[in-house]
Amino acid sequence: MVKMLSTFTYGLPTLMFLVSIPMIFKWISPNSFYGYRTQYTLSSPEIWYAANMKMGIATAIASIIAIVVSHYIVSNSSAQIEHRYAYAMISGMLIILLSMVLVASN
């Protein structure tokens, strides 16, 4: 159980970080599957690349912060180990989601 929680706690933010890299380097052309997709961002390639780069940077930074916060919670909490991983996983995902909402609202 702890190994599975550990995988999710650190694996999900790491995956989000890896997914953000192509967005940062503008490797993803406008499409309806991958990237920051709205009517506005799909309206022109210039808008698409700028918006996706901004979202990619925010996601990468948030993912790193999520990993650091998760590690701190797992290492320093007095709760049972299963609860520590659950708290860390929830806080990590909230950090990433918050960053995406903040970027999308601008």
Share of the chain above pLDDT 70, in %: 98
28 against 74, higher pLDDT: 28
**Residue that the structure tokens 């708290």 belong to:** 87
Q: pTM value?
A: 0.84
Tell me the pLDDT tens digit for each residue of 26-58. Answer: 999 999 899 999 999 999 999 999 999 999 999
Q: Report pLDDT for 22.
A: 97
Contacts of 81 (CB under 8 A, 6+ apart): 2
Closest CA to 66 of 32, 105, 99: 99
